[in-house]
Amino acid sequence: MNSQMKKVGFGFLASLMLPGAAFACACGCGVFDVGTSSMFPNGEGGMAFLNYDYQNQNQNWSGTSSAPGANNDDKKIETHFVTVGLQYMFSRSWGAQLEIPFANRTFDSAANAGSLNWTGLGDIRLKAIYAGFSEDLSSGLSFGLKLPTGSYNHTEALGGIDRDTQIGSGSTDLLLGGWHRARFGSSHWNWFAQAELDVPTLKQGDYRPGMEADAAAGIYYDGLSVGRVKISPVAQIIGSVRGRDNGAAAAPDDSGYERVIVAPGLEFNFHPVKFYADVELPVYQNVRGNQLVAPALFKLTVSYMF
């Protein structure tokens, strides 16, 4: 497999394989992460990465259009996500990935006397990776668990934060994903596609988040360089569908959504270090009830191959 293709774009796939989205009452309390192909396995070895995401959910939305803010007690959910991760391929076919997320969240609501701000560990994800379908490792599967390590009862005694706005979901989820990548003939253009299913299984506190399916497709160009730095422009489209939450602690009438996002980005690769950045812009959102949405999501990723 062409070495350029092996090294392209951490940002895309990093996103997909990192903590999954949780639109929650506020339509997007988490971030669906997707990246280019540098997080797809390309042989034995490891990669450490640090991912930063930011979103400010300050627009009330109902159905497919904006709605009056007076229809929603929640006014703003601003979140900084930082995820530390490690991926290691023990052989050409088998590997594992660990993602440890942290979040700082500010929540403004008519039910609170002012803003609430807190920081905490999110829900850790553990995955196995299989890439042994072909010699060039162009296709593969991932499967694992999302663990209930994040707090799901912050200020519960005060009644200030609903379950779907907590940093952690409190649920143990099954994760199943797959990917494929290829080059357009002998050109410098490449494409990839990936999908992941998140199925909550075990719940806590009579709250079960909705099942979620996420998919992404993208193209990138690997023919640019400045000195030893390879530059890859990237374009992707991301789709997400999430069912309504269930349980006595849930708000089923104000949870669940469909969303389509376009995300232009750039990756800078000076092996063994890579930087990736993009902006993710919703072009279609259909939410149940009233939920807060963000006008844009921002991402920055740094990775180190070893």
| pLDDT, tens digit, 9 for 90 and up, residues 54-91 | 999 999 999 999 999 999 999 999 999 999 999 999 99
Quickly count: other Cβ atoms within 10 Å of residue 261's Cβ: 22
Positive or negative, the CA dihedral 157, 158, 164, 166 is negative
In tens, the pLDDT along 158-184 reads 556 889 999 999 999 999 999 999 999
Q: What is the C-alpha to C-alpha distance for residues 101 and 80, in angstroms, rounded to an integer?
A: 10
Superfamily grouping for domain 3-305? Autotransporter beta-domain (2.40.128.130)
Give the pLDDT score at 33. Answer: 57
- Structural domain spans, the chain: 3-305
pTM here is: 0.88
Lookup: tokens for 57: 């959910």
Q: What is the C-alpha to C-alpha distance for residues 72 and 164, in angstroms, rounded to an integer?
A: 14
Percent of the chain with pLDDT over 90: 76
Q: What is the C-alpha to C-alpha distance for residues 122 and 220, in angstroms, rounded to an integer?
A: 31
Q: What is the C-alpha to C-alpha distance for residues 261 and 50, in angstroms, rounded to an integer?
A: 22
Residue 246 has pLDDT above 50, yes or no: yes
Q: What is the mean pLDDT of residues 200-218?
A: 94
Which phi and psi angles does 157 have, rounded to 5°?
-65, -25
Give the pLDDT score at 2. Answer: 43
Give the pLDDT score at 51. Answer: 94
Q: What is the C-alpha to C-alpha distance for residues 18 and 6, in angstroms, rounded to an integer?
A: 20
